[in-house]
Structure 1
Amino acid sequence: MPVDHYENFPVASLLLPRRLRRPIEAIYRFARGADDIADEGDASDAERLQGLADYGHEIERIERGAAPLRPAFNELAEVIAEWQLPTALFRDLLDAFSQDVVTKRYADYPQLLDYCRRSANPVGRLLLHLVGRASEENLRRSDCICTALQLVNFWQDIAIDWQKGRVYLPQCDLERFAICETQIAAERCSADWTALLTFEVRRTRDLMNAGAALVHQLPGRMGWEIRLTVQGGLRILERIEQARGDVFRQRPQLGAADYLFIGSRSLLM
């Protein structure tokens, strides 16, 4: 279970109650479509930003109760109205995707967390609204899990993001561990690099564990869905540690044995 793209939240899983599959699919299509505008193909930055602005205009129409101009947004409009979902969360996602187009480096950890607040946390918050569990404490725990999953994705995809001109490792962390970007370009794993990734992995694990108690507040199968997601993210962090941070030659991949391990750990949460 690579924590990749937008597959780090449940999409029509058999574990989900049937009534939740339609709204979750609608949220997924919105997030996936907007992410692809920001990240895929060979469009210019201006074209990407315009495409995301067009998505934003559709959200504005939905807020006003007007019919979307694009038929692809009709179902999302129905879901937002039926489930009374906060449209600000969809705006946060679009803001993060727009930031991805123009921002390629992050000065420090708080700056990176602010990006995750908009790129990842809205998804968890929307899921909590769908199941009627959007209390302040549950939202806080969900934010911890979603941000941690986003960071897991960053650490396993360092080489892939470099090819896109992006470095999500905070610049102050690179300086602290005496790592320059030429080392990333050369895909060189040194003792300093191992120390840097160990630091990031441990910080990310602490964040994931800080939110893990959320699974006990979620009803039935949704709780099990999130248990598996949390344990999948933690397993990938273990894989990064086992590779001593060498995500260049050993990008974390989970196999059948890992899924069994994830399942058994989920039973103990």
Structure 2
Amino acid sequence: MAGISAQSSVEHYENFPVASILMPRRYRKAVAAVYHFARHADDLADEGDAAPEQRLAALAECHAELTRIEAGEAPQTARYRALAPVLTQYQVPVALCHDLISAFEQDVVKTRYADFGELVQYCRRSANPVGRILLHFFGERDERKLAMSDGICTALQLINFWQDVAIDWQKDRVYLPQDEMARYGVTDQQIAAGKADGAWRQLMAFQVDRTRRMLQAGAPLAMQLPGRIGLELRLTVLGGDAILTKLQQAQYDMFRHRPTLGASDWPRLLWRALRKR
């Protein structure tokens, strides 16, 4: 599950149809408030040329604003003043927002992941809170549904990593688990050279297969949510699966063929999402 498409001070490519016209109008203001909070914090970690200590200090201020909300105090910035009533109205645990910021802090200081477990723990804070926040908006707090949402969100985060291997390398970040890279004989130097050889394709085929299974495991949630909410989630899941298929069709050479979803993809995916109901 994902946030709402919008513009901030930095232009962002959004993979999935997040809170498009499919999102019921009554939720759009709340989703926008969460999006702008998360997008701003993510930009503090990623964009511009600030030093790491400056980025961490700015993110600490985000934590401080959330702490004010928890204490029932007025936030100091407009962005958090818009967020506060949303969290209160929908009884969203503020800890979910703290988790998101902690993931952005981790991006500032951590550039490699020893194994898949470490990567999943990062996704637990960088992606899963978004789905859980949305489920709170929809009044869904069943633990099984939350777990399925986590599976979808983690898979979508991994899909972003796999399509953005080359982009992340420019930031000196490698999200591929180091032990699995070693198992398949893939090195950082190979990523730097953009070499999609047999070893690389085997590694990425393994990643894509595991990610698709995670996405499919959570997909039944989209059939359990009502109306346009369920339709949007089905479309999002289908979009994620389509990116994985494009990766396979490109022989996992995202260095030269970064897979994206274009205008011609969405009508077909929407038709499939509608038929699934």
Match of 2:129 among 122, 125, 146: 122
Query: Can you give the 5+ residue segments of structure 1 that lack an aligned partner in the other structure?
Result: none
Residues 86-123 of structure 1 deviation map (CA, whole Å, 9 limit, x = unaligned): 10100100110000000000000011000000000000
Offset, 1:8: 5.5
The equivalent position to 1:225 in structure 2, one of 227, 232, 243, is 232
User: Which residues in structure 2 correspond to 1:1-269 (within 5 Å)?
Assistant: 7=14, 11-269=18-276
Amino acid at match of 1:243: A
- Partner SS state of residue 120, structure 2: helix
Q: What amino acid sits opposite 1:26 in the alignment?
A: A
- TM-score normalised by the chain length of structure 1: 0.95
CA RMSD between the two structures: 1.6
Q: Structure 1 residues 192 and 103 mapped into 2: Cα distance closer, same or farther (>3 Å)?
A: same
2: CA distance, partners of 1:196 / 1:50: 37
1:11–1:24 contact (8 Å) kept in structure 2: no
**Contact 1:34 1:94 (8 Å CA) reproduced:** yes
Secondary structure in structure 2 of the residue aligned to 1:256: coil
Question: What is the alpha-carbon distance in structure 2 between the residues aligned to residue 267 and residue 11 of structure 1?
Answer: 16
How many residue pairs match? The answer is: 267
Instruction: Mark the CA change 1:8 to 1:53 in structure 2 (over 3 Å): closer, same or farther.
Output: farther
Q: TM-score, normalised by structure 2?
A: 0.93
Is contact 2:123–2:154 with CA below 8 Å preserved after alignment? yes
Q: CA deviation at 1:265?
A: 2.5
Same amino acid, percent of matched pairs = 55
Structure 2: which amino acid aligns with 1:247?
M
One-letter code aligned to 1:160: I
Deviation by residue 1:220-241 (Cα, 9 ceiling, x = unmatched): 1111111111100000000000
Deviation at 1:16, TM superposition (A): 1.2
Range with greater deviation from structure 2 (66-75 or 203-212):
66-75
CA distance in 1, matches of 2:229, 2:153: 15
CA offsets, 1:63-95, max 9 Å, x none? 000001123211101111111111010010011
Cα distance change on mapping 1:189 and 1:172 into 2, 3 Å: same
- CA apart distance, 1:51: 0.5
